[in-house]
Chains A and B, each alone.
Chain A
Amino acid sequence: MKSVSDSSDEKPLVRIRGLKFRRGSRTIFDGVDVDIQRGRVTAVMGPSGTGKTTLLKLISGQLRPDAGIIEVDGLNVHALSRADLYRLRMRMGMLFQSGALLTDLDVFENVAYPIREHTDLTESLIRKLVLIKLEAVGLRGAAGLMPSELSGGMARRVALARAMAMDPMMIMYDEPFTGQDPISMGALLKLIRSLNDAAHISSILVSHDVQETAAIADEIYVISNGHVIQHGTPERMMNSDDPWVRQFLHGLPDGPVPFHYPASPLADDLLGESG
């Protein structure tokens, strides 16, 4: 793996070096290096349960690595004071896998929430901002609904509107396409791309939808088993001759990437008595 040092001489937006992280006795990351460039859509892919969500939580400082450093915009996330971390988070949006909307507020108020918390804008200005964000995700008409009245796909789009509300420098998307029909999927892809290009919001995109992701990503990281298997442009990745990458990106059931969570052989479990 060669290090990323291409055309832009700017320092990467997110720089991860030697990241190690364990959950209990299970090693999730064992020495991971990642560079997320500014103004790019960087996709992170990998089998379910490899720690993609965990990686986003580490980048945003919700989890603490066991070793290694994570820098966002030149700041070491895990060395920041609480106040500085919060100041940094105001510039990072995160779209949770589950949406994570506040269930006691309606759609409008959910999107307005970060604006109300962090600014003193007038009510009419907030209204305009919120409606613009909701329009962008196609849900202006749903402003009055409660989160319990939304489908999973709608909830995730509202969450996206909320993540954009503070005009952050980057947005982390955790599986934004799950539960989207082809039309809203297409719209979301365009939205992510145009947020990235027009509004200069760098994007980290975690997704299993290989074709769609490859179509809009500038760079793809494939992670498995605690390591970065390979990274590069979508073309390079799709034509990779690394068997892991091939298997994953082309969805082949057999290959080096295990479908199973680590376990003892099935026969042992079925035949043997435990203890």
Chain B
Amino acid sequence: MNVLLLDGLRTLGASGVHALRRIGRAHLLFVAMVAGVVDMARKPGLLITQLFSVGVLSVLLIAVAGLFVGMVLGLQGFYILSQFSAEATLGVMVAASLVRELGPVVTALLFAGRAGSALTAEIGLMKATEQLSGLEMMAVDPIRRVLTPRLYAGVLAMPLLAALFSALGVLGGYFVGTGLLGVDGGTYWTQIEAKIDFNEDVVNGVVKSLVFGVVCTWIALFQGYDTVPTSEGVSRSTTRTVVHSALAVLGLDFVLTALMFGN
């Protein structure tokens, strides 16, 4: 009995130490990646290539998802607003939900599933096939050369993708509202123009996406870099990227929303 308890405690302690080590490594990696910007300034081509590949990976997915989410918002919003005879404010409701919440959050979730998992698999396989060690031996720092451009690309791509998502969502709401439900098109746009505040809504949304961009890309790159270099290890890391990113995004969204709009 006593032995069982001790064993349990030991396992608990060991996994605690293990987790703390991982967190420590993740932070060290983050600092190293951020510092790599010095190198990247000399080779801007690296960033542009990565921006292109990270962005292009997700752009179609994000656009289609944005359109559908906007259309659903149009339908649901109309149903509720019409109960208060406030159909005219449909545009504001759609746009505000998108810009403040759904744009950044859903984009980040989709990004984690699409670009994040791809980043983890790519880096993980580079590690498993000794490409990262190969770079080390050619006196090229794999963090600066491989990870840093991907981090910055992810951080820059996220707000752009979220903006695309929101823009297409607003369009989707417009199509449903004016096409199906008979909302006046002119009112839809003028209400958005009048009621959506640049600082309150747009800037806060962009800040959220930037934070999500950092967190999702960081998680994806760390999981790839820290992977157990086998096919099983890479597959586990890829799954972890998606799960950890999703939880981090939803949790951080609550914190950020409370800080931004909570008074």
Which residues of A approach B to under 8 Å, CB–CB? 57, 60, 62, 82, 86-87, 89-90, 92-94, 96, 98-103, 113-114, 117-118, 159, 162, 166
Contact = CB atoms under 8 A, between A and B. Distances in A.
B139 A86 contact: yes
Interface string B163-196: 0000000000000000000000000000000000
B136 A90 contact: no
Contact of B139 (A89, A102, A103): A89
Contacts of A159: 134
A114 B139 CA distance: 8
Ranked nearest first, the 5 interchain pairs of A and B with the lowest CB-CB distance are: A100-B134, A100-B130, A86-B139, A89-B139, A114-B138
A87 B139 contact: yes
Mostly, the A contact residues are: mixed
A117 B137 contact: no
A89 B138 contact: yes
A92 B137 CA distance: 8
B137 A101 contact: no
Contact of B133 (A93, A96, A166): A96
B139 A100 contact: no
Contacts, number: 51
A252 B104 CA distance: 67
Contacts of A94: 137
Contacts of B136: 62, 89
A86 B141 CA distance: 9
A84 to B, nearest CB: 11
B257 interface: no
B140 A114 contact: yes
Given A96-B133, A113-B138, 12 more contacts: A62-B133, A89-B137, A89-B138, A90-B139, A100-B133, A100-B134, A102-B131, A103-B126, A103-B129, A103-B131, A159-B134, A162-B138
12 contacts: A57-B133, A62-B136, A82-B141, A89-B138, A89-B139, A93-B137, A94-B137, A100-B129, A100-B134, A102-B135, A117-B140, A159-B134
Contact of A98 (B125, B130, B135, B138): B130
A92 B138 CA distance: 8
Interface string B146-177: 00000000000000000000000000000000
